[in-house]
Amino acid sequence: MVENIGVLVIFFVLIVIAMIFYFAFQSASIEEKQGELKIRNALEITSKVSMLPELQCRKNNVAEAHCFDALKIDSAKLLFAQTQNEDYYFQQMGFSTIKVKWIYPYNDEKQIYHKTMPEYTNNDTSRIPISLYDPITNSYDYGILEVNVYS
């Protein structure tokens, strides 16, 4: 009888050790997934912003991919900040800071959207190269769209 109980105790102890290992591994994997979801969210916002008609350049009424019209940037910034549009753009861009940076032929930077999450614990930055088209000079500058997402 005592021997049987001993066997069962050892058996359950081993099962408990296995479960501890399993849950420790699972929690690490959940953290990894959370991190990936945050990166995906930043990517999603970057893609959405790069295709916003409020910013996108057009030639003969055809939208150009990954290209911002330099003349639209200031008016888009005002549009994003207007109280009546706040909810709509918050749904699109969430808690984030969005900047357009000029790399070539000169360096400059414009912040087009900013909404910080109160007491955020994490921020992920996503960047993609974009063309910045100046319709007055008909030239394309090299720029970056930088999206910083708070969570």
Partner 1 sequence: MEKIKKSKKGQMELLGIAIVIVIILVGVMFFFLFAITGENTSIAPSVIRTQIGANTINTLLKTTTLCKKLTISELITDCVDGPNLECSGKNSCEYVKSQISYILENTLTNWGIDYQFDILKQTNTAGNEFTPIGEMDIGSACTSQEHFEQLLPTQISYAKASLNLCN
Binding flags for partner 1, 86-105, as an x/- string (CB under 8 A): -----------------xxx
Positive or negative, the CA dihedral 31, 32, 38, 40 is: negative
CA distance linking residue 139 with residue 126, whole number of Å: 26
DSSP one-letter code for 83: G
Closest CB to partner 1 among 81 and 128? 128
CA distance linking residue 149 with residue 38, whole number of Å: 8
Helices (H) and strands (E) in the chain, counts: 3, 6
Selected from 56, 96, 97, 126, the binder of partner 1 by CB under 8 A is 126
Interaction of residue 66 with partner 1, rule CB under 8 A: yes
Minimum distance from CB of 85 to partner 1 (Å)?
27
Neighbouring CB atoms inside 10 A of 103's CB total: 13
Minimum distance from CB of 104 to partner 1 (Å)?
5
Q: Which stretch binds partner 1 (CB under 8 A): 72-80, 85-93, 108-116, 136-144?
A: 136-144
Peptide bond into 118 cis (omega under 30): no
Binding residues for partner 1, total number by CB under 8 A: 35
Place of tokens 């861009």: 93
Interaction of residue 142 with partner 1, rule CB under 8 A: yes
User: Binding residues for partner 1, per CB under 8 A?
Assistant: 3-4, 7, 10-11, 14-15, 18, 21-22, 25, 32, 36, 39-40, 43, 65-67, 103-105, 126-131, 137, 139-144
